[in-house]
Amino acid sequence: GAGVSQTPSNKVTEKGKYVELRCDPISGHTALYWYRQSLGQGPEFLIYFQGTGAADDSGLPNDRFFAVRPEGSVSTLKIQRTERGDSAVYLCASSLTSNNEQFFGPGTRLTVL
Amino acid sequence: DQQVKQNSPSLSVQEGRISILNCDYTNSMFDYFLWYKKYPAEGPTFLISISSIKDKNEDGRFTVFLNKSAKHLSLHIVPSQPGDSAVYFCAANTGGYQKVTFGTGTKLQVIP
């Protein structure tokens, strides 16, 4: 079956703009995670959804970052007033439940000029 | 505060030999450890894991060893194959809850 998909694969934007990154998890997976991977670093946890609700958003760096999962499937990560430091690969993962292996998507490479 | 550390950014190994990737952690609350493999332009792929109640887990050519007293784990790949060339991330979490903390990765190159 289809894996986790993320769109767009690449996004270039200007400082101060608003961006939305989309994640389509594996069908039936109830848990969904967002990570950010900066150059030379490992993935860093941002937020975790169980169903429609954000169970843990402790990794979001500040209030410019927000994520939703309104129907418990697709999720959107929203970044307002982008800064150059937001440039990174944003990874999405899903798992059957929160106690199962996470499957990662290919990521969205965000570049803020 | 880097709770999971991979101090070797890169490693080169001859095909057929053993690859040993090391990882240290500082958070004694971690009770589940994972290794992920990542190819360029792809997301990380789960490779192997180990619970803190064990000290060894083996899956084919891959074996993970855990030394809780030293807060150290290692991944052994034997024999190494060119297709194993990738970045390997060590990761950990607590209590089955899958907020995973990753290390910075080790880039493995297996030379034919």
pLDDT tens for chain B, residues 1 to 112: 789 999 999 999 999 999 999 999 999 999 999 999 999 989 999 999 999 999 999 999 999 999 999 999 999 999 999 999 999 999 999 866 578 999 999 999 999 9
Higher pLDDT, A100 or A64: A64
CB contact under 8 A, B99 and A56: yes
- Comparing alpha-carbon positions, the chain A residue that sits nearest to B103 is A42
pLDDT band at A109 (very low <50, low <70, confident <90, very high): very high
Place of tokens 């594996």: A26
A87 touches chain B (CB under 8 A): no
Average pLDDT for residues A52-58, to the nearest whole number?
Answer: 92
Contact B62, B75 (CB under 8 A): yes
Q: How far apart are the first and last CA of chain B?
A: 38
CA distance A19 to A65: 10
User: Is a pLDDT exceeding 80 seen at residue A36?
Assistant: yes
Instruction: Identify the pLDDT of residue B38.
Output: 95
Instruction: Identify the pLDDT of residue A97.
Output: 82
Measure Cα distances from A74 to A50, A51, A93, A95, B56 in Å: 12, 10, 11, 13, 37
Higher pLDDT, B90 or A40: B90
List chain A residues with CB under 8 Å of B46. Answer: 101-103
- Comparing alpha-carbon positions, the chain B residue that sits nearest to A99 is B96
The Cα of B34 is separated from the nearest Cα of chain A by a number of Å equal to 10
What contacts A75, CB < 8 A, 6 or more positions away? A22, A23, A25, A32, A34, A49, A67, A68, A69, A92
Contact B70, B9 (CB under 8 A): no
User: Is a pLDDT exceeding 90 seen at residue A49?
Assistant: yes
User: Is a pLDDT exceeding 80 seen at residue A34?
Assistant: yes
Mutant choice from A7, A36, A45, A56 vs B, greatest count of B C-beta within 10 A:
A45
Instruction: Identify the pLDDT of residue B41.
Output: 87
Please give the share of chain A, as a percent, with pLDDT higher than 90: 89
Contact A82, A16 (CB under 8 A): yes
Average pLDDT for residues A60-75, to the nearest whole number?
Answer: 96
Average pLDDT for residues A49-74, to the nearest whole number?
Answer: 94
Instruction: Identify the pLDDT of residue B96.
Output: 63
What contacts A99, CB < 8 A, 6 or more positions away? B96, B97, B98
Q: Which two tokens stand for residue A3?
A: 């894996």
Chain mean position to CA A21: 7
B105 touches chain A (CB under 8 A): yes
Instruction: Identify the pLDDT of residue A44.
Output: 95
Phi, psi of B17 (to 5 degrees): -85, 175
Q: State the pairing for strand pair B97-102/A5-7.
A: unpaired
The Cα of B68 is separated from the nearest Cα of chain A by a number of Å equal to 22
Contact A49, A32 (CB under 8 A): yes
> Least CB-CB distance to A42: which of B42, B43, B105?
B105
CB contact under 8 A, A99 and B91: no
pLDDT, mean over chain A: 94
Phi, psi of A43 (to 5 degrees): -60, 140
